Amino acid sequence: MALRIEGYAIVSEDGMLADAAGVMPAALVVEADQKFLSAGLDRADLIVHGRNSHENQPQSPYRRRLVATRRVAALAPDPDHPNATLWNPGGLPLEKAADSLDVADGVVAVLGGTDLFGLFLPRYDVFYLSRLAGLRLPGGRPVFPQVPQSSPENVLAAAGLTPEPVQALDPARGVTLTAWRRPGR
């Protein structure tokens, strides 16, 4: 057994997680996507995200998480979130950080933002990419550092992931979900 890495993101038509001010607009908070995310996070053994990200759901305080920051050398308690540990990925490999929280095997859910999503590109077993049509956030925070020069789909394909059929999450609002999976995983 080993850690299984799953990514979750919802992006605008131009591949953005948040606007130019670094704020995720309310339009990107879609109920069907939140339900999908919540079910996935409830199955996860560990959540990983950057210091400016958080899923902000009712179950959040009960979920074990690593919050990435360069403000610590390796690991330190997180005074701001329950069940959370500050983690510097440059100071300690994910496996060692997870092991310190008694997660040697299991699912790690990666929630972004841009740099964290990029950091894990070589490692995703699956990346769940939700898309909202009709919203553009020029100059915003992209889902991966390579966006918008490249599309999110091209970045995922270049990382060796292949798409499953597109699912309609909220047809009225033009929200779709595609699971990008590493072959054989």
Ligand X SMILES: NC(=O)c1ccc[n+]([C@@H]2O[C@H](COP(=O)([O-])OP(=O)(O)OC[C@H]3O[C@@H](n4cnc5c(N)ncnc54)[C@H](OP(=O)(O)O)[C@@H]3O)[C@@H](O)[C@H]2O)c1
15 lines the binding site for ligand X (CB under 6 A): no
Q: Does 47 bind ligand X (CB under 6 A)?
A: no
Length of the chain: 185
Residue 21 touches ligand X, criterion: CB under 6 A: no
Question: 106 is written with which tokens?
Answer: 């299991």
Q: What distance in Å separates the CA atoms of residue 38 and residue 70, rounded to the nearest whole number?
A: 28
CA distance 45 to 42: 8
Binds ligand X (CB under 6 A): choice among 28, 47, 156, 169: 28
Under the binding rule (CB under 6 A), the answer on residue 70 touching ligand X is: yes
Q: Find tokens 């210091």 and name the residue.
A: 51
3-state helix, strand and coil shares in percent for the chain, rounded to the nearest 5: 25, 30, 50
Q: How far is the CB of 87 from ligand X (least distance, A)?
A: 8
Is residue 116 involved in binding ligand X (CB under 6 A)? yes
Residue 60, SS3 per DSSP:
helix
Tokens of 15: 């591949």
- Using CB positions, name the residue nearest to ligand X: 50
Quote the least distance from Cβ 70 to ligand X, whole Å.
3
Q: Applying CB under 6 A, does 114 fall inside the site for ligand X?
A: yes
Binding site for ligand X (CB under 6 A): 9-10, 17-18, 22-24, 28, 49-53, 68-71, 88-90, 111-116, 119, 141
